Chains A and B, each alone.
Chain A
Amino acid sequence: MELKFLFNSKLLSITFLLLTSVFLFTACEKDDDDDEEEEVELITTLELTFDDGSTTQAFTFQDLDGDGGNAPSIDDITLSSNTTYNVSIRLANDSETPSEDITAEVMEEDLDHIFIFTPGAGLNLSAQITDQDSNGAPIGLSSQMVTLGASTGTLNVKLKHEADKSSPATTGETDIDVTFNVTIQ
């Protein structure tokens, strides 16, 4: 009787020990990745470079601290009338040092990306994308813009991701949607 009881309590303690160790082994821990906190990749800067053959001018939209916080700074664009410009786009993440070039990454995934240029009403400007992806569809990192008579208005630049390139305005996700004030003089 005594012995049996002893046996039972021994068996019991072993069982509990075993189970407790199972607990210890299976308990999940926080990843030890405190230091690797990674922010979602930002595009802080969009730069439009206008080249009329003799001079180049650059205008930027820049939001160094990302969404919220300080408001973005947006250059006003001033162009000459009746001029044809070759326009190129540069994208960067300037919140990091060294600054990260994102233009090349868009280029690498050219099939998935397209820019849309939309001049506002009243602005005498037209835009035509000149570069092509491997399927022959437009990308928009390079384009040609033609100004006519003096006017003021806006120019909206969008970058779409995974859009249907035949109807990019209403499909895909918007990565960039920036509006500049433009004066043609």
Chain B
Amino acid sequence: MNKLMFFLGLLSISTSLTAQVCKHQLRGKVVHAHTKEELPNVSIVVEDENKGVLSNEHGEFIIDGVCEGEHSVVCSHLGFRASHRIVRLQSDSLLIVSLEPEALHIHEVTVSAEAIEQKSTNTSTVIQGTLLERSRGQGLGEALTEVVGVQTLKTGSSIAKPIIQGLHSNRILILNNGVRQEGQQWGMEHAPEIDPYIADKLTVVKGANSVRYGADAIGGIVLVETKDLPTKKGIHGALNLAGYSNGRQGGASLYLEGRLSDKLPLAGRIQGTFKRGGNLKAPNYFLANTGVREHNFSYEVGYKKERYGINLFYSQFNTELGIFRGAHIGNLTDLENAIQSEVPLIMADFTYQLDRPLQRIMHELTKVKGFVRTGEKGKLKWQYARQFNRRQEFDAHRQFGELSDEFDLPNMEFEITSHSADVVWQHYPIKNFKGEIGVSFIHQRNTTDRGGLIPDYKSYTLGGFWLERWKNYPFPLELEAGIRYDFKRLNIEGRRGEEDQQLDFGNVSGSIGAIYHLSHDWHLNFNFGTAWRSPNISELYSDGVHHGTASYELGRNDLQSELALNATLTVEYDNEKNLGGSLSLYHNFIKNYIYLQPQERPILTIRGAFPAYHYEQTNARLIGADLDFHYHISEHLEWQGQLAIVRGHNLKIDDYLVLMPSDRFKNAIKYEFDEGTILKNSFVKLGMQNVLKQNRIPEGGDFAPAPKGYTLFDLEMGTNFSLGKLPMEVGLNVENLFNNTYRDYLNRFRYFADEPGTNISLRLKLIF
């Protein structure tokens, strides 16, 4: 029975990103099965949504924001046999639960109630289920583009960083399993070091909001969340296999998880991913040296009682990325030659062999977290994490003399070690208020062991926040407000005999938001938030030629912190029959926006003259709209659409901001088949993406005009069936269906080569 529910729970994972309605209320009452007396303090948990409450003195409970669909609900209380129920939610529902007293002896009941998650007043979108499955074989950045308003900033085809509402790199905060991802985010060719297979759920929170997680969230936050450890006895797991025609890439990911017993509530999981790909192919030629090798693993162990729990997590990410050979240039003339040429100046055939130029990155996360329930009032959570990141870059240009085949001499090497500690106290509702208060501390040491691009430094960050939510159901308004203060100190070691420097940055952030339920179908979200970030080390201190872009970049150590003021209004509609969607309008004003300003005079070097840029500050404004909707034309046929528009302005010099995504539309027609006796959840989907040409680019500073707009088609099919008793999911995906030749403005290698052509992929997931 438990097994069946486990599978039902898995199958009920939503397959749709936007169609999911998560506003239902599950209300109910818990009574003694024989005496019918009302039972207070019973834990009621919607397992698959990780939501839970305790019943009040009358045995009543309310759980808000529950998604449409089937849920596994567990009610448990000391001295009673836990009740497991499958609840099918289509609208607000009432649930009456009778608990049988434990006849023989009182044994410990494990409660899986975690933090009472609250829907953000910011616009947030969740990627999980099939949507996550189909895209995660290609990396985290790619997976996030399922969300309207999220694009990727690419360097070739193997490096992709998320852009949220026009902002990327240090203006996006990525939380990997609850820990701020700390690598060398400042680099445009530095992709997030996270295995997408580690994630059970990706959440994109758009808009500035520093309050909960600290600095850097100027454009938004990406939350990478792992699955909770199992709460039932037994061993389970899943195997994912994915193969791609382009690059002849293959990948496999496996996890195994289990739990000992109710007496010893110790649970664990091990997970590993392996990926290997060779040279990708544009419609007319192979892209030299674009292969990838990746192997990642993680493990997690948790011990959880009702009143306290502790959890250990470790993950390691290792990747080797070939950098497109045709993009490596020595000076400006080489760049101009490459731009002039219709095809890359260096050609290759297919190979899995990786050669210089190359990046090799290792990222390690070790985390210990725990909680203690503090009486009936709340819960104290703490977390310590250590991260280590090593980034090695190998230039194509061999230095004179012997070149080692083993790549043991990178041209650049950065190592960063971060320690972070967080303590948060969450309180349960007190007179309609619930919230959390916390402090965090981060210590970092970053060294540049080779290349000397940035100086060595240490940084210390101390922050504290307080966030409260007011809600008085059924009153249709919810309010949220928060405040935070952070202080950051950078100790920079002088290079080449320069003096050491100390820089201090501090800032107050705040946010206020509201959700108003206009009617059952209509909802309004408003959020006003601030965020800040201190200038990063390369903006402060870089001084040298940036290879690949043939430009000389000069940092400034008198830069001030960036400060963002963001207002977002979202209207959501869902009639739960055939039409649903949301429209977000946002205005993001960024004071002291840091950007590269072209200098009049080039810098003369022995390799010729390079155009020079220095970091400058301005006030910037980003305004935009994100729209997505789905409409059921008939019972089987659904139309899905997305539209993202963003405009970025440099207000001081009245010009555009560089690297802003151009307007783009997505349309898809999805046909869902009737449930068969063997095949379930079968569908075919034809998608079309239109990307317009970016005509709004700043004057000067670019080497070639923005490429033309393009239209791409893709086809997707998926189904579920059982292999013996084991559920299996199969998906077939064809990207760039018609093998169109195009280049994208947001790809930094657009000067050198076309984007990859058709890519057919097959993925299998076996759950056991």
Q: Of the 9-residue stretches A24-32, A50-58, A136-144, A147-155, which lies at the interface with chain B?
A: A24-32
Chain B neighbourhood of A31, CB < 8 A:
390, 413, 415, 449
The answer to whether B386 touches A30 (Cβ under 8 A) is no
Chain B neighbourhood of A67, CB < 8 A:
544-545, 552, 603, 605, 607, 610
Q: How far is the CA of A172 from the CA of B301 in the complex (A)?
A: 53
Interface string of A29-57 (1 = CB under 8 A from B): 11101101111110110100000000000
The answer to whether A28 touches B364 (Cβ under 8 A) is yes
Interface string of A81-117 (1 = CB under 8 A from B): 0000000000000000000001001101100000000
B374 at the interface (CB under 8 A from A): no
The answer to whether B401 touches A105 (Cβ under 8 A) is yes
Chain A neighbourhood of B401, CB < 8 A:
105, 108
Q: How far is the CA of A109 from the CA of B341 in the complex (A)?
A: 27
Extra 5 A-B pairs, beta carbons < 8 Å, given A67-B610, A175-B330:
A28-B364, A38-B450, A67-B552, A177-B331, A177-B333
B222 at the interface (CB under 8 A from A): no
* 8 A Cβ contacts from A161-177 to B: 161, 170-177
The answer to whether A19 touches B331 (Cβ under 8 A) is no
B268–chain A nearest beta-carbon distance, Å:
9
Interface string of B549-568 (1 = CB under 8 A from A): 00010100000000000000
The chain A residue sitting closest to B605, CB to CB, is A67
A residues bordering B, Cβ < 8 Å?
Answer: 4, 8, 11-12, 15-16, 19-20, 22-23, 26-31, 33-34, 36-41, 43-44, 46, 61, 63, 66-69, 71-72, 102, 105-106, 108-109, 161, 170-178
The answer to whether A40 touches B451 (Cβ under 8 A) is yes
A99–chain B nearest beta-carbon distance, Å:
14
B residues bordering A, Cβ < 8 Å?
Answer: 263-264, 266, 301, 303, 312, 314, 316, 328-331, 333-334, 337, 341, 345, 362, 364, 366, 386, 388, 390, 395-397, 399-401, 411, 413, 415, 417, 445, 447-452, 543-545, 552, 554, 603-608, 610
- On whether A176 and B607 interact (CB within 8 A), knowing A19-B312, A28-B390, A29-B388, the answer reads yes
B500–chain A nearest beta-carbon distance, Å:
15
The chain A residue sitting closest to B401, CB to CB, is A105
B140–chain A nearest beta-carbon distance, Å:
21
Chain A neighbourhood of B328, CB < 8 A:
173
Chain B neighbourhood of A33, CB < 8 A:
449
B618–chain A nearest beta-carbon distance, Å:
24
Q: Which of B264, B337, B388 contacts A30 (CB 8 A)?
A: B388
The answer to whether A34 touches B449 (Cβ under 8 A) is yes
Chain A neighbourhood of B329, CB < 8 A:
173-174
A160–chain B nearest beta-carbon distance, Å:
8
Chain B neighbourhood of A108, CB < 8 A:
400-401
Chain B neighbourhood of A38, CB < 8 A:
450
The answer to whether B333 touches A39 (Cβ under 8 A) is no
- On whether A173 and B417 interact (CB within 8 A), knowing A40-B411, A43-B606, the answer reads no
- On whether A41 and B544 interact (CB within 8 A), knowing A12-B266, A12-B303, A173-B330, the answer reads no
Q: List 13 A-B contacts (CB under 8 A).
A: A8-B264, A12-B303, A28-B390, A30-B447, A31-B449, A37-B450, A43-B606, A63-B605, A67-B607, A68-B543, A68-B552, A68-B554, A177-B330
- On whether A63 and B417 interact (CB within 8 A), knowing A33-B449, A34-B449, A174-B330, the answer reads no
Q: How far is the CA of A61 from the CA of B134 in the complex (A)?
A: 56
